[in-house]
Amino acid sequence: MDIFLTNNLTKKKEHFIPRDRNNLGMYVCGPTVYDDPHIGNARPLVIFDILYKLLKNEFKKVTYVRNITDIDDKIIQSAQEQNISTKELTERITKNFLDDCKFLNCENPDYQPKATQHIKLMIEMINDLLKKGFAYENNQHIYFEVKKFSDYGKLSNKKLDELIAGSRIEVSKNKKNPEDFVLWKPSNKDEPYWESPWGKGRPGWHLECSAMSKKFLGNEFDIHGGGIDLIFPHHENEIAQSRCANDTKVFANFWVHNAFITMSNEKMAKSQGNILKIKEFRKKMSGQIIRLALMSAHYRQPLDWNDKLLTDCKNTLDKWYGIKYDNFKFVKVPNDILKPLYEDLNTPGFIANLHSLYEKAKNNDKKDLFISACQFIGLLNESNEQWENYKKNRVSLNESEIKKMVDLRDNARENKDYKEADRIRDELSDKGVLIEDKDGKTLWKFK
């Protein structure tokens, strides 16, 4: 079945045709490991994991590369503030990031290269750019000269003057022009460094992805992904330096970007004080809930994060786990069910198909298909026992305490003290216990 994706390079939804059906490549910008990932960082993890699954369903070989940036100004600053080495910081944050990926049930990419393991390749690329006249050296800094690349701005669909105004462009007296961006910079005392023809220093952020994508996917590949905030300057700069260094007319054929997560319609950001760390959810919630929430809106639309969204997703999964059985037989999911995913990763449309399948599966019809379709998108991967344990563990009461409160409520009802009975019921509900009065008996279960 044909896949259609919105290509931000052309600003259109296009029929995705790989360069080689037997060997497809996708590169997605991973984390800069200076701080623990937040829920906004989780969205591209889940979105591109779903795209990876879809591509593997359609093509013979898919190579998925997601980098880890473990050298950057933010990393150095954070390590200094914590009075620890950059190595200690990046190793800890990288471990937390990988734990978050597992929590969200994301498949491991085929390659997860670290920037610090590929400095030699970056130096080689800088040398190529210098020799070809696209870069220049000044005071041990190497800059890419943007005006030498005529296609600059095509991804962000803006002219150079528009891009410079109000953008995240570093101001430096070492530059010929304000729009030029750094490829290499000298390291200060007590900062990490690598030997280079231009002295002790470290690479610029944009260069890292160009060097690593080239190593694992070649000079040209199929899909480059990331958050929408990376379009400029990061992805624009990647295109410029890669095409100039590699003498190509193309870097990646398709550019796919996910929109922001918001809270009360405000972008999630440190400056807003609304950052929610993924590791905090690990302590109190199943990753299945977070994953379903992250795919509840189309990836190109903002997703507003709130308690109701999480409650709705938890209730949906609780309903779906109610008919899951652990020894089910996996079946191939037919195209009519998968069709929304083939239409620009329409996850809300696919979830609607799951709801329809569930109604059929309730009556023991198409149960295996329903479970298989859920697992196709990374849901219902836990056993029923794991799901029940999650619900049990999030309740702050043990069973004897629950039974004691149920007895108190029964006594209140017998004494016609319905206000007190309702209060106890509401307290139990707040603590994750659902009360049901049936045939003169009080039944309870974990929510």
Task: Please give the pLDDT value at position 447.
Answer: 65
The answer to whether the peptide bond before residue 233 is cis (omega within 30 degrees of 0) is yes
| Percent residues over pLDDT 90 in the chain | 74
Distance CA(124)–CA(141), nearest Å, equals 15
pLDDT score recorded for residue 323: 92
Q: What is the mean pLDDT of residues 76-85?
A: 96
Task: Find the Cα–Cα–Cα–Cα dihedral 159, 162, 163, 169, rounded to 10°.
Answer: 140
Contact assessment for residue 279 and residue 100, using Cβ atoms and an 8 Å cutoff: yes
Considering only 79-83, 121-125, 214-218, 278-282, which range has the smallest mean pLDDT?
278-282
pLDDT at 385: 87
pLDDT of residue 228: 96
The closest alpha carbon to 122, from 204, 199, 191, 188, belongs to 204
pLDDT digits (tens, 9 = 90+) for 426-444: 888 777 788 888 877 888 8
Q: What is the mean pLDDT of the chain?
A: 92
pLDDT at 58: 96
Distance, in Å, from the CA atom of 311 to the CA atom of 305, rounded to the nearest integer, reads: 11
CA atoms within a 13 Å half-sphere pointing along the CA-CB vector of 37: 25
Burial class (CB in 10 A: 0-12, 13-18, 19+), 56: middle
Separation of alpha carbons 416 and 179, rounded Å: 76
Model confidence band, residue 158 (pLDDT cutoffs 50, 70, 90): confident
What pLDDT is stored for residue 269 in this prediction?
67
Q: How high is the pLDDT of residue 44?
A: 98
DSSP output for 256-325: EEE--EEETTEE--GGGT---BHHHHHTTS-HHHHHHHHTSS-TTS-EE--HHHHHHHHHHHHHHHTT--
The residue with greater pLDDT, 47 or 391, is 47
Pick the more confident residue, 165 or 361: 361
Q: Which two tokens stand for residue 133?
A: 């006249």
Residue with tokens 């990419």: 109
Q: How far apart are CA 147 and CA 243, in angstroms?
A: 14
Query: In angstroms, what CA-CA distances link 265 with 301, 306, 343, 406?
Result: 12, 10, 26, 41
> Region 342-367: what's the mean pLDDT?
94
Residue 166 in this model has a pLDDT that exceeds 60: no
* Distance in angstroms (rounded) separating the CA atoms of residues 45 and 110: 14
Query: pLDDT, tens digit, for every residue of 380-419?
Result: 999 888 888 887 766 666 778 888 888 899 998 889 898 8
Confidence at residue 138, expressed as pLDDT on a 0 to 100 scale? 96
| Predicted confidence (pLDDT) per residue in 366-377, tens digit | 899 999 999 999
pLDDT tens for residues 12-35? 999 999 999 999 999 999 999 999
- b/e per residue, 279-309, with b = 16+ CB within 10 A? eebbeebbbbbbbbbbbebbbbeebebeeeb
97, 287, 329 from 386: Cα distances, Å = 23, 12, 19
Which pLDDT score, from 0 to 100, does residue 430 have? 73
Asked if 402 and 408 touch (Cβ cutoff 8 Å), the reply is: no
Residue 49 has pLDDT above 60, yes or no: yes
Answer yes or no: are the C-beta atoms of 356 and 343 closer than 8 Å. Answer: no
Q: Which of the four pLDDT bands, split at 50, 70 and 90, describes residue 77?
A: very high
Q: Which pLDDT score is estimated for 139?
A: 94
Q: Which of 118-127, 137-146, 188-197, 381-390 has the lowest mean pLDDT?
A: 381-390
pLDDT in tens, 282-341: 878 899 999 999 999 999 999 999 989 998 999 999 999 999 988 889 999 999 999 999
Whole-number pLDDT of residue 209 = 97
Q: What per-residue confidence (pLDDT) applies to 443?
A: 85
Cα R_g (the chain), whole angstroms: 26
